Structure formats: structure tokens, C-alpha cells
Structure 1
Amino acid sequence: MHDRPASAMGFDEADLRSRIGRMHPVEGVTAVRRSLWGDHVTEPSLASMIEGLTLRPAAVLIPLVLRESGTTVIFTRRNDHMRAHAGQIAFPGGKIDPEDGGPLVAALREAEEEIGLDRRLVEPLGQLDSYISNSGYEIVPVVGLVQPDPPLQPNPDEVADVFEVPLGFLMAPDNHLFEMREYKGLTRRVYAMPYEERRIWGVTAGIVRLFYEQVFA
């Protein structure tokens, strides 16, 4: 796919709704959709390792906040004391439990548990292809519209901070950088998207890139 400048894209509600057809419907989805996307796309040396993993289903919510000044995306910064991915920037999300019945319920439940986002304030638009992480998860990103200034109550045991990034910034391919990171003693390539004093990288940045490729490219 060919990158287009951000000025050629729209990010208002009408434009987002016009792109629903580029996503998969969320209604009735009860299983993870297999995907070619994942950490192994950015770093091909991970492909053989990922092939041997028993993948665990997970889901994240990509919450799009419809502001007059422009659509933004809600992110979290994980608590520094978390056992996994401490201090990293992430979307609200986690494992799909059997009682969830699928990615949509799991993503909305996790958003409620992590940041206090009432699921009734989220209008699901669709879901993206799943994203395979080298940690053994097959992650389904669910895209949802959120009205401005939803009342949030972050869970301090999991979330150190909640913040928003303009969708226009995230969907500009010039902001999709590569970094080299150490993983299990090896140097590997990951996406990174520095924004102000924050650094979105790794799986979260990979999912942002997937969102761009599938919906905006």
C-alpha cells in the first residue's frame, strides 16, 4: 500500500463512518480472526519463534474521541509495578475470557476495568485484523467512537496515566518510525511513534500501524 500525506485524509465522524467497510463487523464475532499482521512483520527474524507458539486470544479497544478540535485516541501508561510491560503505553485491553464470548465484550470490559470507561458510552465501529505478538497473544483491536470528555476513573493498580493523541498524528506515516530494541538477548526492529514527551512503541505502535494500513492507507 502507498503512504499518503495526512492532509489527504479526513478524521471527522463522517469520514470515520465512511471507512467502516474496511473493518470487520463486530456483531456475532466469537472467535479470533487469523492474521498476517504481528511483530514478525516488523521483525521477520521472529517468524519462526511465533510459528511455534500456542496463541492466546486477547482484545484491545481503540477509543476514538470525537472532539471539535479533531478526533483523538485514548491511550494508557501501564503502572510501573506491573509484572508485564511495566510503564509501557498501551490501549485498554487484555485476555478474552470464556464468558466474554468474543473480542468486543472483552475489549469493552477491559476498558471499564482499567480506565472506568462505561461501555454504554462506546459505539463500536468494527474490528481490525488480529495482531500476533511475540509474547504469544493474538490480539483483536476493536475500534469504537467515544463522545468527548467521558468520565474516566483509572485503576491505580494497572494504570499510571490516561492521555489522548490526535488521530491525525497517528495516521501520518511520517510519524511511523523504526527503533532497534533488545529482546531475549537479540536486537530487533519495532515501530515507534514519539509524541511530545511520550513514546508509543512495540505492539501498541504495531497496532496503530495496522489501523493505518487497513483503514486509512
Structure 2
Amino acid sequence: MTGTQSASGSISSADFFDRAQRRLRFDVPAALTDAGVIPATGDQGNDQMLRTIAQERPIRPAAVLIPVVEHAEPTVLLTMRAAHLNDHAGQIAFPGGKIDATDNSPLDAALREAEEEIGLDRSFVEPIGYLDVYGTSFGFRILPTVARVRPGFELAINKSEVDDAFEVPLAFLMDPGNHQLHSKEFRGAQRSYYAMPFAERYIWGATAGILRALYERVCLP
């Protein structure tokens, strides 16, 4: 994980989707379900934290959708979790959640959760491929699906899970100048995390980390 790399100019919508289709696949990484495989972040503190969590908690496989809306200036559709939830209340997130036994794949779980949480009809969604597994300090191993979303959809927010859904320009999120790298102590070791404040929205933690992973996988030459 690095905080100083820069993109070679802005990336166009066509270039972004072309790169994503060439660089992403639907192979499910072993780290999603194998406790012996620790998701690598490139940050020594984070990697140590994930090794510690893997010894203490069972794996909690999850899937999220990264919905990139194909406007002339593409956007990423994000949610704000409901304020009354026990976990991560009020935080900015991708549509998604735990992978159920009835889900055919992590992709199926991500599409199902997007329909349940915000009413995003999967007929508007063209899945492109998976990023790498992203591990969290809560024991979740998240597999993000990058998808092209056709404009024209109508959302139906499930207020039991989500307070709001909104779009952020992809150009802002893929600009490394907006990737703030913070750190805090976890059991005696420093761990890093990203934050990408946008207007009144504070995007940080796993959501910002996954967006950074998207930048490194798709936008860097």
C-alpha cells in the first residue's frame, strides 16, 4: 500500500472500463475463505493486524459491489449506513454484506445485497471482475466486484440498512492527491488507513482502502 504514487493524467470513462475489463477476472481468491491465506496489503502494520485477527476470529466472507455509473463523467454509487445499526453506523460504504450459503458466488451476493439495500436493479449492472480480497479488523474478508452501471436506474432505499445513497465523481476518487494516508495504533503496532473526504462525506476505512486498491489495479499504468 503506498500513498505517494501519482496517476499519469486523468483517466477517461472509456479508458477506465477498457482497463478494468483487461485487468480483472472472476477467479475467487483463496484468501476469501482459507484462514491460512492472509490478505496482503503491503503495509507491515496492517498485515500484522490481519494475521492477529485470523488467529482470533473465524473468517467472515463478504462481498461488495463497486458500481461505476457510466455517465459522461463517471461516478461511483455509495451508501451511508443507517444511523441505528450496531456496526459501522453512519459510515460510507459500498452496497454489500456477508455471503450467504444460498448465494451462487460472491458476485451473486454483491448483486443481491445491492438490490436489497438500495433497490439497484441488476438489469442495469454489467459486472466486470473482482479486485483482491480486502481484510478488516472485524474479521471480514471482503471481495469487491467492479461493475459498469447503466444510467437510468431508480433506487429504493431500505431504511432498515441504509440512510442514503449518493454518487461521487470517479475522477475525484481515482486522484491520488485525494488519498489521505492516516495511521493509528493497533495493539502496539502502527496500522495505516486511507481517507477521502468529499464535500460533507467522510469516506474512510475499508471503503477508502478498497477505492485505493481499485486505483492501483486499474488506473496505474
Q: Into which bin does the TM-score normalised by the smaller protein fall?
A: 0.7 to 0.9
Alpha-carbon displacement from aligned partner over 1:170-217 (angstroms, at most 9, x marks no partner): 111111102345778997532100001111000111111111111112
Specify which of 138, 141, 162 is matched with residue 165 of structure 2.
162
Establish whether residue 17 from structure 1 lines up as the match of residue 18 from structure 2: yes
Contact 1:133/1:203 (<8 A) preserved? yes
Contact 1:39/1:190 (<8 A) preserved? no
Specify which of 67, 76, 101 is matched with residue 63 of structure 1.
67
Alpha-carbon displacement from aligned partner over 1:79-115 (angstroms, at most 9, x marks no partner): 0000110000000000111111211000000000000
Establish whether residue 99 from structure 1 lines up as the match of residue 140 from structure 2: no
Give 4+ residue runs of structure 1 displaced > 6 Å after superposition: 182-187
Specify which of 93, 116, 131 is matched with residue 90 of structure 1.
93
Contact 1:30/1:101 (<8 A) preserved? no
Contact 1:39/1:46 (<8 A) preserved? no
Aligned match of 2:58: 54
Establish whether residue 177 from structure 1 lines up as the match of residue 189 from structure 2: no
Contact 2:39/2:47 (<8 A) preserved? no
Tell me by how many angstroms 1:12 deviates.
Answer: 1.0
Alpha-carbon displacement from aligned partner over 1:23-60 (angstroms, at most 9, x marks no partner): 1236xx59738663459666355244233132111100
Separation in 2, partners of 1:84, 1:149: 32
Aligned match of 1:192: 195
Letter in 2 for 1:76: T
Establish whether residue 138 from structure 1 lines up as the match of residue 141 from structure 2: yes
Tell me by how many angstroms 1:154 deviates.
Answer: 0.7
Specify which of 111, 114, 127 is matched with residue 114 of structure 2.
111
Tell me by how many angstroms 1:138 deviates.
Answer: 0.9
Separation in 2, partners of 1:185, 1:78: 30
Aligned match of 1:153: 156
Tell me by how many angstroms 1:124 deviates.
Answer: 0.5
Structure 1: gaps (5+ residues): none
Question: Which structure dedicates a bigger proportion of its chain to strand?
Answer: 1
SS in 2 for 1:125: strand
Instruction: Give the paired residue count.
Output: 213
Contact 1:92/1:115 (<8 A) preserved? yes
Give the TM-score normalised by structure 2: 0.85
Contact 2:127/2:146 (<8 A) preserved? yes
Tell me by how many angstroms 1:150 deviates.
Answer: 1.2
SS in 1 for 2:61: strand
Superposition CA RMSD, Å? 2.7
Instruction: From the superposition, tell whether residues 102 and 42 of structure 1 become closer, same or farther in structure 2 (CA, over 3 Å).
Output: farther
Letter in 2 for 1:5: A
Identity within the alignment, %: 46
Aligned match of 2:211: 208
Establish whether residue 122 from structure 1 lines up as the match of residue 162 from structure 2: no
